[in-house]
Structure 1
């Protein structure tokens, strides 16, 4: 479980194909400071299991399912990535409940600079639109964000200077892919409403 508050902007050190998986090596001094084999670290919003820690780097295996459902398959050595360690129960919940289970991918449609912030519009897969509401929470590349505007196939976010400076969202351009995780609470509410006695089907 994560909160969507990125701890560190890491960098991909190596990408090694291994059959239908990829071994990903990531440089991240902060997240590796207390990491151990079996720990969870979110990489661009994808929950991955640490297989080895070597100094400021960690390795992880990325399964075919993850490669197919996220943008991790497009990573190459030198690529910046958002990193977050799994939350402790005692931590403040600075963002929102994030599972690290990507629901789909979108892309940056446009960026409009403001005086000190930037409005960024992302495409939204049609099957996820019903879970996204104005002023609600959404995770983009592992960053917990508040939805500023939404329609049937896109949503907008106002990015503050801290987010622009400390995450990959300040570096990506129009056309770049992003991982999207909708608020899991919305999915649970939908399931409960549909399965409730007397609910319309």
Structure 2
């Protein structure tokens, strides 16, 4: 489990490519390596990955086909940075919200409203996730636990499905600690819906369907 409180960033220093498979080697800062062992879970841009090898500051992680398809990790190159969070431990303070590290989709960054001390960023969400997103709810964006500031309807996609756009407001600490300050319009971010919100929405939908068929 993760909390969505990004602990810092790490640089991708090596990529080993194989058929529908990748190994990423990151240069992890010292504090992020404390007690780290092979088999441990570490979130990269919100994606839960397993440590496969440790060589000093260089730590390796394997990316499977589904990870490359669903997340933005497959688009990374050497020199790029990712948001990093070590797995939560019992007794840790939950400063964000409970996150599983299972990214559901990507969202496109479509608008940036920068102010001197904060930044509002708008994203376009895939239509299939729109029912889980509402103002003041939680959402995971590249592994960061954020509060949705506002939502608005977006244009229909090629299938005629109505999508949704949402924004988040970022304080200086978030901009300094994560890669969000470097994101530009047109880039894709990883999205994890709040698991509790997803469970509640899907339960209510099942109950309503059952009632209609009584």
TM-score (norm 2): 0.90
Per the TM alignment, residue 115 of structure 1 is displaced from its structure 2 partner at its CA by 2.9
RMSD: 1.3
User: What 5-or-longer segments of structure 1 have no aligned partner?
Assistant: none
User: What 5-or-longer segments of structure 2 have no aligned partner?
Assistant: 154-163
What does residue 170 of structure 1 align with?
A: 181
Distance 1:61 1:23 in 2: 4
By percentage of residues, which structure has more helix? 2
Higher mean C-alpha displacement, 1-10 vs 26-35: 26-35
What does residue 158 of structure 2 align with?
A: none
What does residue 99 of structure 1 align with?
A: 100
Higher mean C-alpha displacement, 75-84 vs 185-194: 185-194
- The yes-or-no answer on 1:160 pairing with 2:171 is yes
Determine which of 191, 195, 205 is the counterpart of 1:180: 191
* Structure with the greater alpha carbon radius of gyration: 2
Q: Is the 8 A contact 1:8 1:82 kept in 2?
A: yes
TM-score (norm 1): 0.95
- The yes-or-no answer on 1:191 pairing with 2:202 is yes
Alignment of 1:1-201 (within 5 A): 1-29=1-29, 30-152=31-153, 153-196=164-207, 198-200=210-212
Distance 1:57 1:110 in 2: 35
Per the TM alignment, residue 99 of structure 1 is displaced from its structure 2 partner at its CA by 0.7
Deviation string, structure 1 residues 8-48 (Cα, Å, up to 9, x no partner):
11111111112221001111123222211110000000000
Q: For this pair of structures, how many residues does the alignment match?
A: 201
